[in-house]
């Protein structure tokens, strides 16, 4: 929004609970205890002969604290996924150090407390949802009863109860992301690494995913996500790092990075022309310049969610701002015939 | 392939394994340190050495639940990849296989052999490619699909992944082998009986010893029945069906003979093998018999009507063996080389066995050192002395075992110390009645435990107890074989004469042969999974296949290169010979240059020792020849070495697989 002054006030038409859950800040507070420490981390991809091919990361240093939602941002090829894979030990650093949950990245014991959702679904497609979660549960040495309980809980949580006995190869992309998320959480991890968590999800799925991330934060877990869907990151992240060509360009709290301290935004209920003129005059006396006066717009996501929610509550009702072409034509025909 | 047994010594095997593994590990660690020095500078070798103990940490923290989870996943994956389609191919082969196997001209034992060989070969060659491909492609596919990423980012250890994979493929392979093995057994049992075209059997019919001979060829069926002293009845029919229709009684008799003959042939004979040596025309011991010019050196010959003897020394002959068989059952099968024709060309040769009690001694002085026999002289009833460096020293005869003695030149010597001659004293000789042998057929000779013996010295006839009088204190018995037909030669090999223990059932021997196939496929799984940890699917398959082919077909050649037994020298010498066109058998000039070449070659041959031991000896797993030839698969000479080989590769394969997975970047671009 580009208005100058700030009077924040909820509009009457603001979406209900689910949307509010995203907009309202989470109550849990991140501590200063770093869960991940990265120091001078560099990664150079080499060719068969050992000659440098690509410098994917260049001297990256940052800490990620316990209980925060941290976003890794950047355009394609900026080093987000490389950083994630270095954290998981899937790649080895060319130089620098990584400490994750107090262990080195290659130490397998750290994985007891980590959940990882890969960018795409790399799960075993010949298994069904129950077999998949049971398999990963066994990798965490869970007992049979524990596995049965958790498998049911997470399948319900990600909304796959009706499809739990279908092989994953029959799943849609959204369903695959959901089961991927369930496997990442099966061990109730302290640290969750999400690679492009909302990719492939519909707006409802995206909403659920963001709710879940905030819920994890409320439970005191640390979430690291990388994404190039900036709106999603902005909605859930406490802190972000922006990478470009393997280098750290921005690092800090989202609010701090986005707030423009030398400008003020003011939002009111609807004013008529005269009231606007008066406010302009008052503001002018205080030396402020009005850059624009406009009606605020909601986001498309908010509109979509509101529409779906209202449709659920009142089936059959239509919210049409513009008359559909087919109706307009039939109306014209009927008017002509009269 | 011959069915010669290889001596297997567990301690020697462990020691050899230790040397090979140690040499390999040292080589790998040195190479890794050198490489890391180049890539990581001075800290590189430290990094490498820090990685060394990690395998053991990983191994000791194995979780059976995780291993089983990965094994189960692997099993499911292989099943979903349609590995079980092989059952269909197997069924097809067995449905139509017998169409192509009837050979009416062959002897019965060869027909049975054909069926057994067919089953075991079909199981091996159907399963081999399936097991090789699934075990070589599993992990690389997982890495390519990135499914493995979701496993390694869980607390699954690398050793758990590797062991789980091996177990998963192994259990699938086990199911395949068991199902095919059982099907094959039932098939052999039913199909052979149905399709036998040539057989003969004797049994009692109405109190008369009756012999039935059945021959079915393209022209029809011929049955010869000899009952008691009555003349042989010959019946000829156009087919088996017409025999059944026209002469049902005779048909029933042939069916009874068929089943009886089959039961006699479908067995697993348990031989006690002896060592073979010869006595020449002069009566002195010699390593080999007469060479009749046959290029296949499996058998050497003794000349008939001369002093030539083939000698078998049997060990571990105890009273139990004699009691079980109501005497000693000898089975022999010899090959004749005839130097003249005559009216008796169709007749068999005349043969005689002589049982000999022998004692083997070496003379040792008070310090226990062996003394040359030529220096020993008898000084009293049982006292001896030897002249050593001009000084007479008292020596004692010490008994040695037959297994420690061999023939060298014209004398018996100790295997461990060929300089020491062994005194072999024949204390009692009991010749058995001569008999005619059937060439290539089975000759069963039962030596009763009580024997009549005519003592030529005293001119008296008396009873000799086989065990007490002829088997020496070490449980050894010598049997000498003489050919009595002058001018003819009789070929002998180690397996041509053996003591027959009560046979095992065919099912037991067959199960052991199937076990051999299972062990071989287990090796393929081990090698396949290991190579797939550092290679992509196609290359891993190729590597495993090469190891299989070299281990099966070129292992002995490789061993001869390492031991320097191959003519033409080492790698550099052979290149020089090729370039300079020097014949393999020509001596190289004695110059400094060639001396250097030979030194380098001998060093390279040491390196080849590691290569030779990296390649598994797949010949060890071949047990089908035993059972196909009617023998049981011996535990100590066949099964134990095979299990030993498979276990010997398990540890090193795990180490290689662990480091390959741990040190590679799964996400490397």
Q: How far is A255 from chain B (nearest CA, A)?
A: 33
Disruptive mutation site among B70, B154, B159 for chain A (greatest number of A CBs within 10 Å) = B154
Taking CB atoms and an 8 Å cutoff, what residues of chain A touch B157?
108
pLDDT at A19: 33
Report DSSP state, residue A163. G
Separation in Å, CA B59 to CA A143, A225, A312, B148, B655:
22, 34, 56, 20, 10
Q: Does B237 touch chain A (CB under 8 A)?
A: no
Disruptive mutation site among B54, B69, B150 for chain A (greatest number of A CBs within 10 Å) = B150
- Which residues in chain B land under pLDDT 50? 1-4
Q: Any long-range contacts for A215-218 (C-beta under 8 Å, 24+ apart)?
A: A216/A69, A216/A192, A217/A26, A217/A28, A217/A67, A217/A68, A217/A69, A218/A26, A218/A27, A218/A28
Contact at CB, A123 and B39, closer than 8 angstroms: no
The rounded distance, in Å, linking the Cα atoms of A271 and A287 is 21
Nearest Cα to Cα of residue A10 among A112, A19, A186 = A19
Q: How far is A66 from chain B (nearest CA, A)?
A: 20
pLDDT at A294: 81
DSSP string, B226-267: EETTSPPEEEEESSHHHHHHH-HHHHHHHHHHHHHHHHHHSE
Beta-bridge partner residues of A104: A99
Beta-bridge partner residues of B498: B273, B331
Taking CB atoms and an 8 Å cutoff, what residues of chain A touch B69?
135, 138-139
Q: What is the pLDDT of residues B534-556, one digit of tens each?
A: 999 999 999 999 999 998 888 88
Taking CB atoms and an 8 Å cutoff, what residues of chain B touch A139?
66, 69-70, 151, 154-156
Picking from B69, B157, B667, the nearest residue to A135 by CB comes out as: B69
Q: Could you tell me the two tokens for A61?
A: 């240093």
The rounded distance, in Å, linking the Cα atoms of B148 and B143 is 5
Residue matched to tokens 């269909």 = B88
DSSP string, B346-359: GSPPEEEEEEEEEE
Nearest Cα to Cα of residue B387 among B370, B372, B402 = B372
* ipTM greater than cut 0.85: no
pLDDT at B520: 94
The rounded distance, in Å, linking the Cα atoms of A40 and A38 is 7
Contact at CB, A183 and B39, closer than 8 angstroms: no
**CB B266, CB B189: distance < 8 Å:** yes
pLDDT at A86: 92
pLDDT at B104: 54
Q: Looking at chain A, which residue has its C-alpha nearest residue B66? A: A139
Picking from B66, B80, B150, the nearest residue to A183 by CB comes out as: B150
Q: Looking at chain A, which residue has its C-alpha nearest residue B661? A: A90
pLDDT at B68: 95
Q: Could you tell me the two tokens for A218?
A: 């409320």
**Using 50, 70 and 90 to split pLDDT, how confident is the model at A119?**
confident
Nearest Cα to Cα of residue A35 among A89, A134, A101, A91 = A101
Return the ∠ at Cα B603 (arms to B599 and B604), rounded to 5°: 115
The rounded distance, in Å, linking the Cα atoms of B150 and A313 is 40
Contact at CB, B153 and A85, closer than 8 angstroms: no
Separation in Å, CA B617 to CA A118, B28, B526, B554, B556:
44, 22, 14, 9, 9
pLDDT at A305: 72
Q: Does B248 touch chain A (CB under 8 A)?
A: no
Other beta carbons within 10 angstroms of residue A151's beta carbon come to 23
Statement: residue A121 has pLDDT above 60: yes
Disruptive mutation site among A139, A140, A143, A176 for chain B (greatest number of B CBs within 10 Å) = A139
The rounded distance, in Å, linking the Cα atoms of B261 and A11 is 101
Disruptive mutation site among A49, A51, A124, A125 for chain B (greatest number of B CBs within 10 Å) = A124
Taking CB atoms and an 8 Å cutoff, what residues of chain B touch A90?
149, 152-153, 665-667
The rounded distance, in Å, linking the Cα atoms of B141 and B532 is 9
Instruction: Give residues 135 to 154 of B whose Cβ lies within 8 Å of A.
Output: 145-147, 149-154
Separation in Å, CA B36 to CA A220, B23, B45, B48:
42, 20, 6, 7
Q: Looking at chain B, which residue has its C-alpha nearest residue A118? A: B150
Q: Does B69 touch chain A (CB under 8 A)?
A: yes
Other beta carbons within 10 angstroms of residue B31's beta carbon come to 11
Counting every residue written for chain B, the total comes to: 669
Q: Looking at chain A, which residue has its C-alpha nearest residue B68? A: A138
Instruction: For residue B612, give every residue at least 6 positions away whose Cβ sits within 8 Å of its Cβ, in sequence order, or none.
Output: B555, B558, B559, B561, B562
Report DSSP state, residue B572. H
Picking from A45, A122, A140, the nearest residue to B150 by CB comes out as: A122
pLDDT at B347: 63
Nearest Cα to Cα of residue A216 among A328, A66, A39 = A66
Beta-bridge partner residues of B270: B501
Residue matched to tokens 């070496």 = B362
Q: Could you tell me the two tokens for B211?
A: 């012999």
The rounded distance, in Å, linking the Cα atoms of B584 and B565 is 12
Q: Does B73 touch chain A (CB under 8 A)?
A: yes
Instruction: For residue B165, give every residue at least 6 positions away whose Cβ sits within 8 Å of its Cβ, in sequence order, or none.
Output: B70, B71, B74, B135, B138, B139, B529
Q: What is the pLDDT of residues A277-325, one digit of tens each?
A: 888 888 888 888 888 888 777 776 776 677 777 777 777 666 555 655 5
Nearest Cα to Cα of residue A132 among A162, A154, A108 = A154
Q: Could you tell me the two tokens for A71?
A: 């976003």
Best CATH choice for the domain A17-258 from the list 3.40.50.300, 1.10.10.10, 1.20.930.40, 3.30.950.10: 3.40.50.300
Taking CB atoms and an 8 Å cutoff, what residues of chain B touch A127?
73, 76
* β pairing state of A222-226 and A69-73: parallel
Please return the burial class of B22, using the count of CB atoms within 10 Å of its CB with bins 0-12, 13-18 and 19+. Answer: exposed
Contact at CB, B146 and A116, closer than 8 angstroms: no
Contact at CB, B77 and A126, closer than 8 angstroms: yes
Going from N- to C-terminal start, the domains of chain A cover 17-258, 300-337
Taking CB atoms and an 8 Å cutoff, what residues of chain A touch B154?
111, 136, 139-140, 187
The rounded distance, in Å, linking the Cα atoms of A214 and A210 is 6
H/E segment holding residue A256: helix A254-258
The rounded distance, in Å, linking the Cα atoms of B505 and B518 is 20
pLDDT at A150: 93
Per-residue pLDDT, averaged over A216-233, amounts to: 87
Q: How far is B52 from chain A (nearest CA, A)?
A: 15
Q: Looking at chain B, which residue has its C-alpha nearest residue A116? A: B153
Q: How far is B78 from chain A (nearest CA, A)?
A: 11
Disruptive mutation site among A95, A106, A108, A117 for chain B (greatest number of B CBs within 10 Å) = A108
**CB B541, CB B137: distance < 8 Å:** yes
Nearest Cα to Cα of residue A120 among A180, A183, A79, A191 = A180
Q: Please state the φ and ψ torsions of residue B663, each to the nearest 5 degrees.
A: -95, 0
DSSP string, A213-251: HHHHHHTT-EEEEE-S-HHHHHHH-SEEEEEETTEEEEE
Q: How far is A165 from chain B (nearest CA, A)?
A: 16
Picking from B66, B147, B665, the nearest residue to A141 by CB comes out as: B66
The rounded distance, in Å, linking the Cα atoms of B77 and B93 is 26
Picking from B73, B145, B662, the nearest residue to A122 by CB comes out as: B145
The rounded distance, in Å, linking the Cα atoms of B328 and B355 is 11
Residue A220, sorted as left (phi over 0), alpha (psi -120 to 50) or beta, turns out to be left
Beta-bridge partner residues of B435: B351
pLDDT at A307: 72
Contact at CB, A90 and B666, closer than 8 angstroms: yes
Residue matched to tokens 């061999």 = B406
Picking from B77, B149, B154, the nearest residue to A118 by CB comes out as: B149
The rounded distance, in Å, linking the Cα atoms of B156 and B162 is 10
Q: How far is A11 from chain B (nearest CA, A)?
A: 45
**A10 vs B131, higher pLDDT:** B131
Q: Could you tell me the two tokens for B188?
A: 């052999």
Taking CB atoms and an 8 Å cutoff, what residues of chain B touch A116?
150, 153
Statement: residue A335 has pLDDT above 60: no
Nearest Cα to Cα of residue B214 among B100, B348, B108 = B108
Nearest Cα to Cα of residue B524 among B85, B67, B128, B38 = B128
Taking CB atoms and an 8 Å cutoff, what residues of chain B touch A106?
662
For residue B122, the SS3 value is: helix
Picking from B66, B158, B667, the nearest residue to A139 by CB comes out as: B66
Q: Looking at chain A, which residue has its C-alpha nearest residue B158? A: A108
């Amino acid at each position: 929004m580009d208005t100058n002054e700030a009077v924040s006030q909820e509009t009457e038409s603001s979406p209900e609970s689910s949307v509010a859950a995203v907009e309202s800040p989470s109550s849990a507070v991140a501590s200063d205890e770093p869960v991940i420490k990265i120091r001078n981390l560099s990664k150079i991809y080499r060719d068969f002969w050992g000659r440098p091919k690509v410098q994917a990361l260049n001297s990256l240093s940052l800490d990620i604290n316990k209980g925060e939602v941290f976003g890794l941002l950047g355009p394609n090829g900026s080093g987000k996924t490389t950083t994630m894979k270095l954290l998981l030990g899937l790649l080895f650093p060319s130089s620098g150090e990584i400490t994750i949950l107090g262990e080195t990245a290659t130490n397998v014991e750290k994985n007891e407390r980590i959940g990882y959702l890969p960018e795409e679904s790399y799960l075993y497609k010949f298994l069904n949802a129950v077999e998949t979660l049971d398999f990963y549960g066994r990798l965490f040495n869970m007992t049979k009863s524990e596995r049965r309980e958790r498998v049911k809980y997470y399948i319900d949580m990600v909304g796959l109860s009706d499809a739990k006995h279908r092989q994953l190869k029959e799943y849609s992309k959204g369903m695959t992301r959901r089961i991927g998320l369930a496997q990442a959480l099966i061990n109730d991890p302290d640290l969750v690494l999400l690679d492009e968590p909302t990719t492939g999800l519909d707006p409802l799925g995206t909403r659920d995913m963001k709710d879940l991330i905030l819920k994890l934060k409320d439970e005191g877990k640390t979430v690291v996500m990388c994404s190039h869907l900036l709106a999603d990151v902005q909605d859930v992240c406490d802190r972000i790092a922006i990478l470009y060509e393997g280098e750290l360009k921005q690092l800090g709290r989202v609010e701090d990075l986005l707030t423009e301290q030398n400008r003020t935004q003011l939002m009111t209920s609807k004013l008529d022309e005269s009231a606007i003129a008066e406010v302009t005059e008052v503001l002018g006396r205080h030396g402020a310049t009005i850059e624009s006066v406009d009606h605020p717009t909601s986001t498309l996501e908010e509109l979509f969610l509101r529409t779906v929610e209202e449709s659920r509550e009142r089936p059959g009702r239509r919210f049409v701002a513009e008359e559909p072409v087919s109706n307009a034509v039939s109306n014209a025909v009927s008017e002509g015939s009269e | 392939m011959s069915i010669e047994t290889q001596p297997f010594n567990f301690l020697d095997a462990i020691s050899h394994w230790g040397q090979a593994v140690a040499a390999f590990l040292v080589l790998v660690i040195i190479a890794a340190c050198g490489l890391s020095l180049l890539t990581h500078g001075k800290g590189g070798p430290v990094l490498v050495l820090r990685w060394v103990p990690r395998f053991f940490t990983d191994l000791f923290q194995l979780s059976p639940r995780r291993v089983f989870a990965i094994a189960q996943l692997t099993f499911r994956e292989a099943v979903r990849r349609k590995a079980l389609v092989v059952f269909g191919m197997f069924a097809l082969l067995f449905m139509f296989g017998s169409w192509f196997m009837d050979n009416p001209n062959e002897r019965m034992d060869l027909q049975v052999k054909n069926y057994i060989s067919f089953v075991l070969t079909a199981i091996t060659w159907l399963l081999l490619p399936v097991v090789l491909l699934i075990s070589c492609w599993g992990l690389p596919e997982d890495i390519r699909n990135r499914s493995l990423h979701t496993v390694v980012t869980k607390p699954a250890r690398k050793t758990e992944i590797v062991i789980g994979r091996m177990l998963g493929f192994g259990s699938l392979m086990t199911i395949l082998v068991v199902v095919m093995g059982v099907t094959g057994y039932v098939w052999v049992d039913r199909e052979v009986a149905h399709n036998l075209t040539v057989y003969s059997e004797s049994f009692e019919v109405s109190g008369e010893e009756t012999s039935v001979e059945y021959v079915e060829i393209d022209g029809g069926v011929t049955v010869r029945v000899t009952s008691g002293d009555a003349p042989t009845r010959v019946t000829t029919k156009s087919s088996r069906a017409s025999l059944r229709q026209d002469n049902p009684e005779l048909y029933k008799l042939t069916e009874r003979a068929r089943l009886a003959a089959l039961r006699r042939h479908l067995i697993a004979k348990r031989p006690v093998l002896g060592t073979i040596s010869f006595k020449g025309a002069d009566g002195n011991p010699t390593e080999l018999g007469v060479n009749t010019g046959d290029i296949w050196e499996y058998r050497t010959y003794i000349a008939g009507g001369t002093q030539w003897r083939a000698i078998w020394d049997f060990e571990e002959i105890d009273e139990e063996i004699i009691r079980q068989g109501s005497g000693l059952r000898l089975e022999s099968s010899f090959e004749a080389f005839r130097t003249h024709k005559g009216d008796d060309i169709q007749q068999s040769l005349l043969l005689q066995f002589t049982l000999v009690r022998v004692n083997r001694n070496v003379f040792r002085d008070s310090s226990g050192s062996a003394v040359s026999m030529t220096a020993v002289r008898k000084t009293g009833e049982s006292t001896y002395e030897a002249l050593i460096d001009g000084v007479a020293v008292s020596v004692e005869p010490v008994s040695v075992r037959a297994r420690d003695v061999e023939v060298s030149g014209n004398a018996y010597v100790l295997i461990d110390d060929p300089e020491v001659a062994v005194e072999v004293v024949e204390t009692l000789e009991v010749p058995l009645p001569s008999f005619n042998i059937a060439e290539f057929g089975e000759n069963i000779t039962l030596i009763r435990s009580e024997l009549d013996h005519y003592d030529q010295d005293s001119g008296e006839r008396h009873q000799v107890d086989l065990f007490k009088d002829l088997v020496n204190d070490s449980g050894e018995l010598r049997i000498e074989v003489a050919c009595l037909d002058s001018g003819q030669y009789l070929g002998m090999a180690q397996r041509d004469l053996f003591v027959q223990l009560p046979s095992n059932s065919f099912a037991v021997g067959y199960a052991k042969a199937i076990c051999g196939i299972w062990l071989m496929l287990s090796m393929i799984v081990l090698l396949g999974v290991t190579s797939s940890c550092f290679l992509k699917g196609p290359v891993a398959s190729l590597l495993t296949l090469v190891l299989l082919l070299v281990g099966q077909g070129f292992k002995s050649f490789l061993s001869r290169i390492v031991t320097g037994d191959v003519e033409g020298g080492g790698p550099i010498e052979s290149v020089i010979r090729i370039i300079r066109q020097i014949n393999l058998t020509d001596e190289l000039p004695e110059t400094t240059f060639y001396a250097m070449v030979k030194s380098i070659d001998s060093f390279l041959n040491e390196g080849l020792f590691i290569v030779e031991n990296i390649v598994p000896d797949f010949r060890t797993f071949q047990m089908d020849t035993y059972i196909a030839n009617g023998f049981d698969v011996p535990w100590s000479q066949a099964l134990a070495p095979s299990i030993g080989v498979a276990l010997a590769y398990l540890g090193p394969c795990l180490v290689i697989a662990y480091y390959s997975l741990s040190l590679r970047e799964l996400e490397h671009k």
